[in-house]
Amino acid sequence: MIDQLIAGFAEALTFYNVLFITLGLVLGIVIGVIPGLGSVTAMAVLIPVTYYMSPVTAIAFLVGVNKGGTSGGAIPAVLLNSPGTAESAASALDGYPMAKRGEPERAMKFALYSSVTGDTISDMLLIVLVVPFATIALQFGPLEFASVLLFAFTLLAGISSASPVKGLIAIFFGVFLATIGLDPVDSTPRLTFDQIHLYDGLSLIAVAIGSLALSSVAAQLLDMAAKRRGGGVPHEALPPSTNRHLGAVEFFSHWKTIIRSSLFGSGVGMLPGLGVTLAAFLSYGAARKASKDPDSFGKGNPEGIIATEAANSAVVGANLVPALALGIPGNVAAALLISAFIIHGIVPGPFMMTMHGDVVYALFASMLMANFLHLIVGRLGIPVWALVTKVDQAYVLPIVVMLCVTGVYLPSQSLFDVGVMLIFAVLGLVMSRTGFSVVGMVIGFILGGLFETSLRQSLLLYKSDYSVLLESPIALAFLLLAALVILRGMWPAKRQEPVHDAQ
């Protein structure tokens, strides 16, 4: 493995790769800083740019974008108390109080260092775990896939919105959307209304950008319009900085929180469908519980930032374990990364390591390089990111709208997809205003097709004989877990704080 990794570095360490990883990080951070947009939007609009790169450069660039987009959200959380992404929401709880007492740079450094450390730990876990995972992956047939996905749906329903029923409705609406197109078994057109553009179903990029990015832009535009009428609220200016320094010794004195949060992030990242926001909130809660002084959380305790940022960045590497080994995307960002792999002729799954081992190890090397570059770019860029947060949204949002349109149009050069995106922007807006989880819907849509295919493959393969479940311990275990999650949800107990709209 070490040999292969060294060979991977030899392939990945080229001028172009370093350049494009850096570019990806910068673009990712800038897009992450813009409120409402995170790594998903950043990757979706930038995938077409990668068509003309070599596979390794393309994936390395997107890895940079993903990492930058995930960590960029912390910057406006610290400086404006308005997190750029939902996964950084908890960073605002302690980051903004730190900024108010004159330590914005320290808060941003805590966020950056935690992101990079969490990410590195998660990447190393990925490198160690992906080979054993790929070897058991052959045991994963359609029966096991269907059971794991069912489990993921039940788990996601409980955490994606305040009401598990609304969560479940959103997820299964997504699954329903995934049934549009040619039936996977008989190729009968379903819900296509003789529209040939619907034969392959709705485009993932159109659905994801429309309902997640464009709807959030639309919401902000509506808010701005409302504020203009009301006269607008000037933003509270921060006091001058008094303490900028953060040394390695001081940072690593929080090693317990760093490691715990990284493991939380990695664990959540490996389960399909759960996503980044949940990892951040779980980790924040755990850090607070473990702290000797829980009351200091929310008042500018750097451990709060560490817990959030280390965990949300740790998801990035770990969610590639199921994505690479099984081809099941852990979240929206991983689904986009898989689609980028396929565009470049690499099909994720159990044979990826044997067929494209060189590319995979070059990817791992690129990820480790990206962490190092992330530290440099993020550190040097702190004054620049602060400027980005000051740009008037009136200039930023139209550019974002244009990026959304081009990002959706380019992959298949289809205006139909742009129309789909616009419809989903409206739908996303309506759903988030009525408390239905948009992310739940998108995840349901992503995993729905796989779920239907696996379920129907199983029914055909085993001739609808359910006793076959007893022969598959993996499937049986996940189905029992799913049943357990449902039973526990029905029990009237004190509910966890809901994590609203993830990724």
Partner 1 sequence: MKFSMKSVAAAVTMAAAAVSGAALPAQAEYPEKPVTMVVPYRAGGSTETMARVLAKALTDQVGQNVIVKTMPGAGGAVGATAVSKAAADGYTILFIASSSVLWPPMTQNVDYTSSSFDFVAQISEYQQALVAKADAPYDTLEELIEYSKTNALNFADQSAMSRTYTNFIAAKEGVAWTGIPTKGGGEMVPFLLGGKVDFAYSGGIHNRYGDDMKVLVSMNSSRLASAPDAPAVSEGYGVAMPSQSMVVVPAGTPEEVIGKLEAALSLAVQDAEFTDLMENKLSFPVVFRPSAEITAAMGETEAALKTVLEATK
Tell me which residues touch partner 1 (CB under 8 A): 51, 137-142, 182, 184-187, 189, 194, 196-197, 199-200, 327, 342-345, 347, 349-351, 355, 411-414, 453, 456-457, 460-461, 463
Q: Shortest distance, CB of residue 182 to partner 1, whole angstroms?
A: 7
Q: Of 446, 377, 418, whose CA–CA distance to 177 is shortest?
A: 446
Q: Considering beta carbons, is residue 134 or 157 the nearer one to partner 1?
A: 134
Strand partners, 189: 182
Q: At residue 321, what are phi and psi to the nearest 5 degrees?
A: -60, -60
Q: Of 460, 453, 442, 446, whose CA–CA distance to 215 is shortest?
A: 442
Q: Coil, helix or strand for 356? A: helix
Q: Considering beta carbons, is residue 459 or 476 the nearer one to partner 1?
A: 459
Q: Shortest distance, CB of residue 197 to partner 1, whole angstroms?
A: 6
For residues 324 and 135, give the distance between their C-alpha atoms in angstroms, rounded to a whole number: 12
Q: Considering beta carbons, is residue 16 or 351 the nearer one to partner 1?
A: 351
Q: Shortest distance, CB of residue 211 to partner 1, whole angstroms?
A: 21
Q: Considering beta carbons, is residue 182 or 476 the nearer one to partner 1?
A: 182
Q: Shortest distance, CB of residue 481 to partner 1, whole angstroms?
A: 23
Tokens of residue 196, six digits: 């040939």
For residues 498 and 199, give the distance between their C-alpha atoms in angstroms, rounded to a whole number: 37
Strands (E) across 120-206 are located at: 181-182, 189-190
Q: Considering beta carbons, is residue 47 or 63 the nearer one to partner 1?
A: 47
Q: Considering beta carbons, is residue 58 or 314 the nearer one to partner 1?
A: 58
Tokens of residue 40, six digits: 């998903």
Per 3-state DSSP, the chain is made up of helix, strand and coil in percentages (nearest 5) of: 75, 0, 25
Q: Coil, helix or strand for 189? A: strand
Q: Considering beta carbons, is residue 14 or 457 the nearer one to partner 1?
A: 457
Q: Shortest distance, CB of residue 189 to partner 1, whole angstroms?
A: 7
Q: Shortest distance, CB of residue 347 to partner 1, whole angstroms?
A: 3
Q: Shortest distance, CB of residue 228 to partner 1, whole angstroms?
A: 42
For residues 294 and 362, give the distance between their C-alpha atoms in angstroms, rounded to a whole number: 43
For the chain, how big is the Rg over CA atoms in Å? Answer: 22
Q: Shortest distance, CB of residue 321 to partner 1, whole angstroms?
A: 17
Q: Considering beta carbons, is residue 121 or 335 the nearer one to partner 1?
A: 335
Nearest 5°: the CA angle 442, 448, 453 is: 155
Q: Considering beta carbons, is residue 163 or 412 the nearer one to partner 1?
A: 412
DSSP state of 238: P
Q: What is the DSSP string of 1-12?
A: -HHHHHHHHHHH
Neighbours of 502 (CB within 10 A): 28
Q: Shortest distance, CB of residue 139 to partner 1, whole angstroms?
A: 7
